């Protein structure tokens, strides 16, 4: 049986959740509302995050980037390591695609700040 | 030449919002004085996401949030002075400012909005024992070096303080190649957002030790490690239980202090709890025509609230510059019994609603908030939880005001 | 071949170098660290002592009294501030006897001192504690920045032909009868006729290299609080409690740069390197300050620091070696060492000049007083900004330090190559934000001026690099 403990982030209550699965059914304990149950289930089955990071510029410096959608939490490390090897040329503008469809997630890594020439 | 209707000091989220709103509300000549070489303030280095959900109804990173305002300022006829530092200001709103292009500028304004933000409390300010080698920095300085300049300040990191900046930096340092060994929190709870505790620490198995503090730093030129210990109920370290962690970096996230020194020097009235200016609902300070908003007034959790508050300050600064004055009857607002502070500290009788922000002093569960005006209870609300880390607000009918306002908790 | 090599760039060494230069000697100062004034001369009270405290006829008394006069005299030539704000040793009714003893000692030392009563005390300092009844007032007490003083002495020596070489830890000295060869850690060597040991807490290391006497040395740490400039309005003089066997006690004083300090403690430590402030030390200060001062305000603390002084017996050691010819030893220069430094330098140089047969003392070119944005008039600023716009580019907002001042500090006669070295000269980062805002900007200016990568910029001292790598240079462990 799989089991996970986490804190619900849906409101300042911060309920301590215990999520368990016997293979089929998922049970959430410790939540005090329905939002907490849904949160617990999602965190257990397919936690997702937006990743923000920095890409090096070709002639020194960095520009900030993010994934323009949620990616599986388990892929954060691989995405960061992909970003690590990329070098970008100025100028960069907000929304410029830095890596298209990063690691086949269907999500792009885009610039979030401006670096003029 | 430098005569303005409204001068806004500070070009971060507060300043830009105030300037835009002042321009919309009567002020024809508006200037922003910004000490950095671009607008946006500290948002430029807050490259994580989570901004704007309230104000723009979408989730943005700091630079993206800032940029929305920068565009509006660029499209407006507001004069922006960059690399500009205000060196003095008088009660009658004469401002001396300098920058490398214009030199010394003697400026005048009919109204001023103070929007200088805040600064971080340092190892010195908390009188942290131990040596002062390289490797001990405020979290914000490490954030700037990483996110603006692209450099890491260390590889093995301990963070003191679990405020949002500390939590955010734990994840940032991890993402950029450092190992974060622990986060220590003096209090038995975190003042950071729950979301940040989960997504910045738990996601990466970074331990958070509540009721712990750094007892001393070790290392001559470069930090070699820190000693830390649990604290007793008076927050004094229990030295018998002191432990040691080897690390090359200690980041401090131990509080933000409004950068209001210039205003305080003018003798403006202050709120003893926020340590900053007391303002009325229009965000006017006790000095006529000098308004204030954003983190220079009180430290906000969300930039969305800064933008909203600054729009209020900007609007009334704009109106003030055109001669509009408040003529409602003033009532003081006082926080008590569990409510640490409330802002604004003064409201007026009249039409419409007024929003009062407040922050509690501890974690309260199932507490009832009671707002009185004079002897009348004008508002109550039950909260399942109230936490010092989350600023709350109540919306009051101005028509219900009949006396000084008190905001208190019944637990 | 040098006439003299001075080992150690504290205030005494810098003063000796400058005086040696005035006799036309070819003189070199070797400093182990990356700046002068990084040891005891950096972290002390910065007091110009009047001279009532030292035992009559001691070296401390002699050099203190002469040094007091010289500090004020030299400040102008060196382009720094020395403020004669007077000092008070305060006591309750019960302490009168102690004050009378001090007064007697002071008069024997030739110091202008007098005992005054509360009424008169309040005219000098309104914030003495309520139960203070008497005070010993010395009008010649004052304040000076100990590190700026040291730096200015070294700078002045350099512009007058002296040499200062930093990052040169002395590791070996060969004595070939009439000629010394001094070897440094970085593989260089220098020949000289005379060696002066002004290595402060490391004096015994140098003595050991030459087979000289090892002094029984005690190290004592002094902790301090530094307060925001906002507190300066509350204190106008140097306020001491009655001294006891451990020293002059915890004082309250303004600094020349507009801050206020509370301290020092006097805590026995193992070595000169033990400069870490302790909670215990800070508690001692908190408990002591209130005895003399009415309004301590720890909310306005912006920094704490500690310095270690070395003590050899009851007096300074200032003498030619008994064992090694042409070797001059300075050791145990604890309080009032800062005040005494110019007089010690004067004495040492005269001794060496006599030995080398150099009689003429030349007039030295004075230092140019560095300009500071914060203390300039608008007109002056308007003129300067036309020549160089960097005068109006403010880098340190707390202390209002312009980029131009930082560039000048970096390129001063004794170059400032670290963030701390810039801070000591230009005050960038000395304010309430502790450099949190401006340190990255200062780093960038240093990197640009010295043409080094940002990762090579140090806070101060070996391995003290602030930016250690680019982001994502190593593996990412997520």
Reduced 3-state DSSP string for B120-145: ECCCCCCCCCECCCECEEEHHHHHHH
Count contacts between A and B (CB, < 8 Å): 78
**Res A1: pLDDT:** 63
- Which element (helix H / strand E) includes C309? strand C301-311
In terms of Cα–Cα distance, which of C26, C6, C18, C25 is closest to C359? C25
Closest to C32 measured CA to CA, from C224, C272, C249: C272
Backbone phi, psi, residue C432, to 5°: -70, -20
Q: Which of C319, C2, C466 is nearest to B141 (CA)?
A: C466
Q: Which residues of A touch B198 (CB under 8 A)?
A: 6-7, 9
SS3 B10: coil
Q: Do B130 and C458 touch (CB under 8 A)?
A: no
Residues of chain B with pLDDT under 50: none
DSSP C269-289: ESSTT---B-HHHHHHHHHHH
List pLDDT tens digits, range C156-213.
999 999 999 999 999 999 999 889 999 999 999 999 999 999 999 999 999 999 999 9
Query: Between chains, do B83 and C458 touch, taking CB under 8 Å as contact?
Result: no
Question: Is the CB of C478 less than 8 angstroms away from the CB of A54?
Answer: no
Contact A112/B149, CB-based, under 8 Å? no
The residues, any chain, with a CB within 8 Å of residue C435's CB and separated by 6 or more, are B141, C396, C419, C423, C428, C429, C442
* % of chain C beyond a pLDDT of 70: 100
Please count the residue pairs, one from chain B and one from chain C, whose beta carbons lie less than 8 angstroms apart: 170
Which pLDDT does position B101 carry in this prediction? 94
pTM over 0.90, yes/no:
yes
B350 lies within 8 A of chain C by CB: no
Which residue of chain B is at minimal alpha-carbon distance from C38? B221
Rg (CA), chain B: 22
Of B59, B54, B65, B48, the C-alpha closest to B12 is: B65
Alpha helices by DSSP H, listed for B50-200, are 62-75, 139-144, 164-175, 194-196
State how far residue C404 is from chain A, nearest Cα, in angstroms: 24
> How far B90 CA lies from chain A's nearest CA (Å)?
37
Contact between residue B194 and residue A43 where contact means Cβ atoms under 8 Å apart = no
User: Cβ contacts of residue B119 below 8 Å, gap of 6+?
Assistant: B256, B257, B259, C432, C433, C436, C437
C472·A83 Cβ contact <8 A: yes
Contact list, C285 vs chain B (CB under 8 Å): none
Q: How far is A77 from chain C (nearest CA, A)?
A: 5
Give yes or no for a contact between C137 and C124, defined as CB atoms under 8 angstroms apart: yes
DSSP sequence for B335-386 = EETTEEEEE-SEEE-SSSEEEEEEEESS-EEEEEEEEEETTEEEEEEEEEEE
Alpha carbons C160 and B186: distance in angstroms, whole number: 54
Q: What is the pLDDT of residues C122-153, one digit of tens each?
A: 999 999 999 999 999 999 999 999 999 999 99
Rounded to two decimals, the ipTM of the complex is: 0.94
Task: Count Cβ atoms within 10 A of the Cβ of residue B1 and give its class: 0-12 exposed, 13-18 middle, 19 or more buried.
Answer: exposed
Residues from chain C contacting residue A54 (CB–CB below 8 Å):
471-472
Query: What is the rounded distance in angstroms from the CA atom of residue C287 to the CA atom of residue C304?
Result: 16
Half-sphere exposure of B272 (CA within 13 A, CB side): 3
Chains that touch C (3 or more CB pairs under 8 A): A, B
Chain A, residues 11-70, CB within 8 A of chain C, namely 54, 56, 62
β C189-197/C2-7 pair status: parallel
Tell which B residues from 186 to 245 touch C, by Cβ distance under 8 Å: 204, 215-218, 220-222, 237
Which residues does chain B have within 8 Å of residue C469's beta carbon, measured at their own beta carbons?
151-152, 155, 177
The residue of A42, A43, A52, A77 whose CB has the most chain B CBs within 10 angstroms, and thus the best one to mutate to test that interface, is: A52
| Cα separation of the two ends of chain C | 60
Contact C424, C148 (CB under 8 A): yes
Q: In the structure encoding, which two tokens stand for residue C433, read together? A: 């934000």
- Listed in sequence order, the residues at least 6 apart from A76 whose beta carbon sits closer than 8 Å to its beta carbon are A49, A51, B203, C478
Residue from A84, A85, A87 to probe the interface with C (highest C Cβ count within 10 Å) = A84
Which chains does chain A touch, 3 or more C-beta pairs < 8 A? Answer: B, C
C348: its two tokens: 């040492």
Q: At what angle do helices C337-356 and C146-159 cross, to 10 degrees?
A: 20
Alpha-carbon distances, residue B133 vs C183, C275, C425, C465 (angstroms)? 28, 11, 19, 10
Partners of residue B386 in chain A, C-beta under 8 Å: 12
| pLDDT per residue rounded down to tens, chain C (478 residues) | 999 999 999 999 999 999 999 999 999 999 999 999 999 999 999 999 999 999 999 999 999 999 999 999 999 999 999 999 999 999 999 999 999 999 999 999 999 999 999 999 999 999 999 999 999 999 999 999 999 999 999 999 999 999 999 999 999 999 998 899 999 999 999 999 999 999 999 999 999 999 999 999 999 999 999 999 999 999 999 999 998 777 789 999 999 999 999 999 999 999 999 999 999 999 999 999 999 999 999 999 999 999 999 999 999 999 999 999 999 999 999 999 999 999 999 999 999 999 999 999 999 999 998 889 998 998 999 999 999 999 999 999 999 999 999 999 999 999 999 999 999 999 999 999 999 999 999 999 999 999 999 999 999 999 999 999 999 998 888 8
Tell me, yes or no, if C469 comes closer than 8 A to chain A by beta carbon. no
Q: Do A81 and C476 touch (CB under 8 A)?
A: yes
Angle at C361 between CA C355 and CA C367, to 5 degrees: 125
| Other CB atoms within 10 A of residue C92 CB | 16
DSSP label at C257?
T
Tell me whether residues A80 and C476 touch, CB distance under 8 A. yes
Say which of A56, A76, A83 has its CB closest to residue C470: A56
Per-residue b or e along B8-38, where b marks 16 or more CB atoms closer than 10 Å to that residue's CB: bbbbbbbbbbbbbbbbebbbebbbbbbbbee
Interface probe, candidates C454, C471, C476, C477, chain A, greatest A C-beta count within 10 A? C476
Which residue do the tokens 């900004």 mark?
C385
Cα–Cα dist B169/B166, whole Å: 5
* Chain C residues lying within 8 Å of B176, measured CB to CB: 471-472, 476
Residues of chain C found within 8 Å of residue B12, distances taken between Cβ atoms: none
Contact, A71 vs A105, CB < 8 A? yes
Contact residues on chain C for A76, CB-CB shorter than 8 A: 478
State whether C467 and B145 contact (CB < 8 Å): yes
Question: Chain A residues with CB inside 8 Å of B385's CB?
Answer: 11-14
pLDDT tens track of chain A, all 117 residues? 688 888 888 877 788 899 998 877 889 999 988 989 999 999 999 999 999 999 999 988 999 999 999 999 999 999 999 999 999 999 999 999 999 999 999 999 999 999 998
- Residue bearing tokens 């070699």: B224
B127 touches chain C (CB under 8 A): yes
Q: Which residue do the tokens 């008070």 mark?
A: C88
Minimal CA separation from C40 to chain B, in Å: 14
> Chain B residues with CB-CB distance to A under 8 A?
44, 47-49, 59, 61, 63-64, 67, 146-150, 175-176, 193-195, 197-199, 202-203, 384-387, 389-390
Residue identified by tokens 């740490």 is C221
- The CA distances from residue A67 to A45, A49, A95, B399, C48, in Å, are 21, 9, 10, 48, 61
Which of A112, A114, A115 to mutate to probe the B interface, most B CBs <10 Å? A112
The angle at the Cα of A96, spanning A92 to A100, to the nearest 5 degrees, equals 130
A81 vs C contacts (CB less than 8 Å): 476
Residue pair C129/C226 in contact by the 8 Å Cβ criterion:
no
Beta-carbon separation of C471 and A62 below 8 A: yes
CA nearest neighbour of B17 among B60, B56, B61, B57: B56
Whether the CA torsion C376, C377, C378, C384 is positive or negative: it is negative
B67 to A7: CB separation less than 8 angstroms, yes or no:
no
Q: Parallel, antiparallel, or unpaired: how do β-strands A87-88 and A71-72 relate? A: unpaired
* Contacts for A102 with CB less than 8 Å, ≥ 6 apart: A67, A71, A79, A82, A108, A109
Q: Choose, from C18, C42, C49, C220, the residue flagged as catalytic.
A: C49
Task: Give which of B134, B145, B242 to mutate to test C binding, by max C Cβ within 10 Å.
Answer: B134
Query: How close is the nearest chain A Cα to the Cα of C469, in Å?
Result: 12
Q: Respond yes or no: is residue C49 known to be catalytic.
A: yes
> What CA–CA distance (Å, rounded) separates C281 from C246?
14
């Amino acid at each position: 049986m799989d089991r996970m403990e986490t804190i619900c982030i849906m409101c300042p209550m911060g309920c301590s959740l215990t999520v368990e699965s016997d293979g089929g059914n998922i049970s959430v304990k410790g939540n005090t509302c329905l939002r907490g149950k849904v949160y617990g289930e999602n965190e257990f089955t397919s936690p997702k995050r937006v990743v923000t990071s920095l890409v090096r510029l070709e002639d020194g410096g960095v520009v900030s980037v993010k994934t323009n959608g949620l990616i599986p939490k388990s892929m954060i490390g691989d995405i960061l390591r992909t970003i690590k090897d990329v070098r970008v040329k100025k100028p960069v503008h907000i929304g410029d695609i830095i890596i298209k469809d990063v690691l086949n997630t269907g999500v792009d890594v885009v610039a979030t700040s401006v670096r003029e020439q | 030449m430098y005569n303005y209707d409204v001068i806004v000091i500070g070009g971060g989220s507060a300043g830009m919002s105030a300037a835009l709103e002042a321009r919309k509300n009567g002020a024809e000549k508006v200037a922003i004085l910004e000490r950095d070489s671009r607008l946006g303030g500290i948002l430029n280095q807050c490259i994580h996401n989570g901004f704007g959900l309230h104000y723009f109804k979408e989730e943005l990173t700091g630079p993206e949030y800032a940029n929305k305002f920068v565009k509006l300022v660029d499209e407006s006829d507001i004069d922006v002075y960059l690399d500009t530092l205000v060196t003095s200001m008088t009660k009658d709103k004469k401002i001396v400012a300098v920058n490398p292009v214009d030199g010394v500028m003697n400026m005048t304004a009919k109204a001023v909005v103070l929007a200088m933000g805040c600064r971080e409390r340092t190892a010195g300010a908390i009188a942290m024992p131990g040596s002062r080698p390289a490797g001990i920095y405020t979290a914000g300085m490490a954030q700037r070096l990483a996110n603006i300049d692209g450099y890491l300040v260390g590889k093995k990191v301990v963070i003191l303080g679990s405020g949002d900046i500390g939590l955010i930096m734990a994840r940032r340092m991890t993402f950029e190649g450092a190992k974060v060994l622990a986060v220590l929190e003096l209090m038995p709870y975190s003042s950071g957002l729950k979301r940040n505790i989960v997504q910045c620490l738990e996601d990466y198995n970074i331990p958070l030790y509540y009721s712990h503090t750094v007892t001393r730093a070790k290392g001559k030129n470069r930090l070699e490690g820190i000693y830390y210990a649990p604290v007793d109920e008076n927050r004094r370290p229990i030295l018998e239980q002191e432990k040691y962690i080897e690390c090359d970096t200690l980041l401090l996230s131990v509080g933000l202090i409004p950068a209001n020194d210039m205003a305080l020097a003018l003798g403006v009235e202050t709120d003893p709890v926020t340590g900053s200016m007391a303002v009325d609902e229009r965000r006017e300070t006790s000095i006529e025509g000098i308004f204030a908003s954003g983190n220079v007034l009180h430290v906000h959790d969300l930039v969305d609230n800064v933008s909203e508050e600054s729009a209020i300050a900007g609007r009334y600064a704009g109106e003030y510059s055109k001669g509009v004055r408040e003529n409602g009857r003033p009532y003081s607002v006082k926080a008590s019994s569990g409510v640490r502070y409330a802002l604004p500290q003064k409201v007026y009788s009249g039409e419409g609603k007024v929003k009062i922000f407040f922050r509690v002093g501890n974690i309260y569960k199932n507490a009832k908030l009671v707002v009185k005006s004079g002897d009348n209870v004008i508002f109550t609300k039950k909260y399942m939880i109230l936490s010092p880390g989350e600023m709350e607000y109540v919306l009051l009918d101005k028509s219900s005001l009949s006396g000084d306002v008190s905001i208190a908790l019944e637990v | 071949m040098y006439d003299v090599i001075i080992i150690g760039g504290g205030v005494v060494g810098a003063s000796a170098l400058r005086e040696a230069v005035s006799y036309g000697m070819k003189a070199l100062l070797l400093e182990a660290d990356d700046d002068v004034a990084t040891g005891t001369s950096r972290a002390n009270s910065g007091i110009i002592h009047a001279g009532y405290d030292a035992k009559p006829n001691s070296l401390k008394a002699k050099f203190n009294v002469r040094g007091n006069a010289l500090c004020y005299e030299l400040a102008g030539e060196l382009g720094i501030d020395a403020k004669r704000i007077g000092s008070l040793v305060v006591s309750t009714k019960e302490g009168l006897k102690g004050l009378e003893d001090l007064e007697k000692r002071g008069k024997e030392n030739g110091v202008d001192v007098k005992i005054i009563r509360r009424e008169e005390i309040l005219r000098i300092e309104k914030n003495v504690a309520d139960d203070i009844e008497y005070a010993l007032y010395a009008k010649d007490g004052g304040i000076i920045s100990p590190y700026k003083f040291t730096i200015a002495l070294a700078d002045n020596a350099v512009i007058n032909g002296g040499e200062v070489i930093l990052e040169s830890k002395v590791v070996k000295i060969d004595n070939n009868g009439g000629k010394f060869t001094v070897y440094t850690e970085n593989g260089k060597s220098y020949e000289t006729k005379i060696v002066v040991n002004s290595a402060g807490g490391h004096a015994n290391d140098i003595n050991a290299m030459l087979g000289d006497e090892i002094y029984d040395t005690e190290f004592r740490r002094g902790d301090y609080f530094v307060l925001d400039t906002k507190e300066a309005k509350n204190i106008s003089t140097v306020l001491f409690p009655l001294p006891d066997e451990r020293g002059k006690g915890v004082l309250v004083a303004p600094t020349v740069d507009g801050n206020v300090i509370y301290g020092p403690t006097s805590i026995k430590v193992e070595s000169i390197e033990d400069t870490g402030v302790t909670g215990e030390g800070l508690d001692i200060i908190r408990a002591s300050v209130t005895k003399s001062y009415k309004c301590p305000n720890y909310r306005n603390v912006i920094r704490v620091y500690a310095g270690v002084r070395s003590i050899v017996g009851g007096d300074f050691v200032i003498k030619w070696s008994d064992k090694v010819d042409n070797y001059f030893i300075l050791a145990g220069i604890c309080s009032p060492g800062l005040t005494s430094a110019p007089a010690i330098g004067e004495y040492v140089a005269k001794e060496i000049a006599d030995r080398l047969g150099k009689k003429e003392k030349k007039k030295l070119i004075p230092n140019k007083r560095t300009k500071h944005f914060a203390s300039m008039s608008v007109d002056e600023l308007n003129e300067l900004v036309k020549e160089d716009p960097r005068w109006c580019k403010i880098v340190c907002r707390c202390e209002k330090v312009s980029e131009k001042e930082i560039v000048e500090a970096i390129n001063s006669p004794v170059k400032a190559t670290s963030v701390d070295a810039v801070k000591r000269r230009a005050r960038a980062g000395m304010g309430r934000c502790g450099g949190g805002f401006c340190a990255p900007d200062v780093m960038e200016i240093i990197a640009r001026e010295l043409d080094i990568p940002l990762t090579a910029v140090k806070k101060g001292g070996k391995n003290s690099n602030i930016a250690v790598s680019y982001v994502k240079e190593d593996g990412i462990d997520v």
